[in-house]
Amino acid sequence: MSLNETLTRAMPQRWQAPGLVPSLLFCVFIAFFAWSLSRAGISIPDLIAGIPAMGTIASEMVPPATDRLLPMMNSVLTTFQMALVGAGIGIVLSFPIAILATRTLSPHPIVYSATRAFVSFVRTVPDLAWALFFVASVGLGPFAGTLALIMDTIGFCGRFFAESMEEVDPGPSEALAAMGAKRADIIACAVVPAATPGLTNASLYSLEKAVRSSVVLGLVGAGGIGAELAVSMEMFRYDQAATIVLMIFVLVLGVERFSAYARSKFLDGARPKL
Amino acid sequence: MLLRDILNMPTSSAIDRIRVIDGPNAVDLEREGAQSAPSLPRFTDAPGINSKTALAVKGLGKTYTTQNGTNTVLRDVSFAINAGDSVAIVGANGSGKSTSLRCAMRLIEPTTGEIFLEGRPLMGLSGLALRKARSKVGFVFQKHNLSTRLSVLSNVLHGGFARGCGIRNWTHSIAPKEERDRALDCLDQVGLADLAGRRADQLSGGQSQRVAIARALMQGPSLIFADEPAASLDPKAGEDMMALFSDLCRRTGLTLIVVSHNLEHALAYADRLIGLQAGSVVLDRKSTGLTREDLAWLYEETGA
């Protein structure tokens, strides 16, 4: 082909009309959303009628009760400790699971698919369902809650650890393989260092998530501050409930601040040199 | 056709002599080639392995099967390289240069062919035996491929994995003293002993590539495969890189196989050129007396 041959100029259209099938699907979606609105029981009159009750509850919340401060603080501490241990053990267990669920590191495609399926299943079951299951099997108390948090963390970290490790540049791994390094060496020296930001992020986020869900787990008897909150609400002690909510707020905020600090330390490249 | 003829006119005799393996006049030229270039290795039957052969590949082929059919990227590639030689593999983009290196180390599993590394067959090996064999070859890539979140010294220590250095070589903080000393010596050989404690992402491109070479030296290799080692560097750094390779090989007697599309580098630093075109070896001769222009035909479109 010679250079002075006239080339066809091809200006792309500004807009392209969507095809028939996408248009139909969009209309179906809009119709479904409208139906869902009607089934969600949204009722403006009910909302308006509820405002005085909300006002009463809110006014009863101030001032927050201080009569059971010490036992409540103890419960908050238990909640946090459950979350810490649950997330910690969950993160440690997630790591080998994630390696099996990483396409590039898994020893066999069948192992990869099976592990992926397992992690997806664990993630699909809600934390409250795990808590009910463990309360029924190991009894009431923080142990059931901790087990539920471990499962929840595995479902979350198993997936995101695997994705972090799948996304790393394959170059360093190939270089180590070319030298004759073992799979364990490659994982430890090429994959994990490159995936550190992703692994750190997922771990810290799973800790935040565990703290938030550990509060709710108490509602089904799996230990911690949730039980106190349920009792206060049932006994119409909204001032106590307010204290508990404030404590939870401080706890979650504290964990998130710590998380942000740890992230900045780990991700900005200023870590000690290994 | 026109362009090639015009380009080739002044040096057509040189072209004829080097176009020995393939091409329209293959039979005539082969005779002429045999007369004028006796050192020319040819693989008509046996790959001529002897005690001096560092690497021999015979009939190496790689075919990818895709939905649209098959795509053959290497066909019947054969060459033998003597210990201490420095050889450049040249050719256009997509001619199979990098693939042939990767196939020779089975980083990409070849579809056909045999590979002999220091006389021992590589094809049947797996596990520890394959890792031991691979450790004899220091592979330097176009990208430095360092673990950039680790220190320079740790990266060099990783070269010791195949010798059976285990977990303690993961990071220099826990590595045995002998290994640390050895790694620092390797860094010294590439002139970077002063940067051992630095994090690898704080190096320039040329420095990173030199750390990659130090890591390859840490393996205690007998061959170095370099896949476009200068391509991601600026011209000055690229020149330094090639000079370093050349110097290392002269001092230590390492065998060097470098893939390059930089013909100046190939001609200046290699004793022998292997040219690939569309996955086949179309040129294999000493580099002495050749010029850039003599090799221009390698980069022409084929298969049209």
Q: Give me the interface pTM, i.e. the ipTM.
A: 0.76
State yes or no: pLDDT of B15 exceeds 80.
no
Average pLDDT estimate for A151-158: 95
Among the residues of chain A, which ranges form H helices? 20-39, 44-61, 69-100, 109-124, 127-138, 142-167, 170-179, 183-186, 192-217, 225-234, 238-267
Query: Per the CB < 8 Å rule, is A194 touching B154?
Result: no
pLDDT at B301: 64
Q: Measured between alpha carbons, how far is A69 from A77 in angstroms, rounded to an integer?
A: 12
Average pLDDT estimate for A239-262: 90
A214: closest CA of chain B, how far (Å): 34
Q: Do A204 and A259 touch, CB atoms closer than 8 A?
A: yes
State yes or no: pLDDT of A119 exceeds 70.
yes
Q: Is A194 on the interface with B (CB under 8 A)?
A: yes
Q: Which residues of A2-35 are buried (b: 16+ CB within 10 A; e: fewer)?
A: eeeeeeeeeeeeeeeeeeeeeeeeeeeeeeeeee
pLDDT, tens digit (0-9, with 9 covering 90-100), for B204-221 = 888 999 999 999 999 989
Single-letter residue type at A182: K
A200: closest CA of chain B, how far (Å): 14
- Integer CA distances (angstroms), B32 to A44, B13, B25, B273, B298, in order: 97, 10, 11, 18, 20
Q: Is A27 on the interface with B (CB under 8 A)?
A: no
Vertex A32 angle, CA A27 and A34, to 5°: 100
Cis peptide bond prior to A71, omega within 30° of 0: no
Q: Measured between alpha carbons, how far is A213 from A149 in angstroms, rounded to an integer?
A: 8
State yes or no: pLDDT of B14 exceeds 50.
no
Ranking A173-187, B30-44, B110-124, B181-195 by mean pLDDT, the lowest is B30-44
pLDDT, tens digit (0-9, with 9 covering 90-100), for B164-176 = 777 888 888 888 8
Single-letter residue type at B24: P
Q: Is A176 on the interface with B (CB under 8 A)?
A: yes
Query: Per the CB < 8 Å rule, is A178 touching B148?
Result: no
CATH (residue range A67-267):
1.10.3720.10
Average pLDDT estimate for B55-69: 88
Query: Per the CB < 8 Å rule, is B149 touching A193?
Result: yes
Residues of A in contact with B201 (CB under 8 A): 269
Domains of chain A by residue range: 67-267
pLDDT, tens digit (0-9, with 9 covering 90-100), for A72-95 = 899 899 999 999 999 999 999 999
Q: Measured between alpha carbons, how far is A153 from A86 in angstroms, rounded to an integer?
A: 8
Q: How confident is the model at residue A10 (pLDDT cuts 50, 70, 90)?
A: confident
Q: Which of A21-35, A40-54, B32-46 has the highest mean pLDDT?
A: A21-35
Ranking A5-9, A42-46, B81-85 by mean pLDDT, the lowest is A5-9
Q: How confident is the model at residue A188 (pLDDT cuts 50, 70, 90)?
A: very high
pLDDT, tens digit (0-9, with 9 covering 90-100), for B231-259 = 888 888 888 888 888 888 888 888 999 99
State yes or no: pLDDT of A56 exceeds 70.
yes
Higher pLDDT: B163 or B224? It is: B224
Residue B113 φ/ψ region, left for φ over 0, alpha for ψ in the -120 to 50 degree band, beta for the rest: left
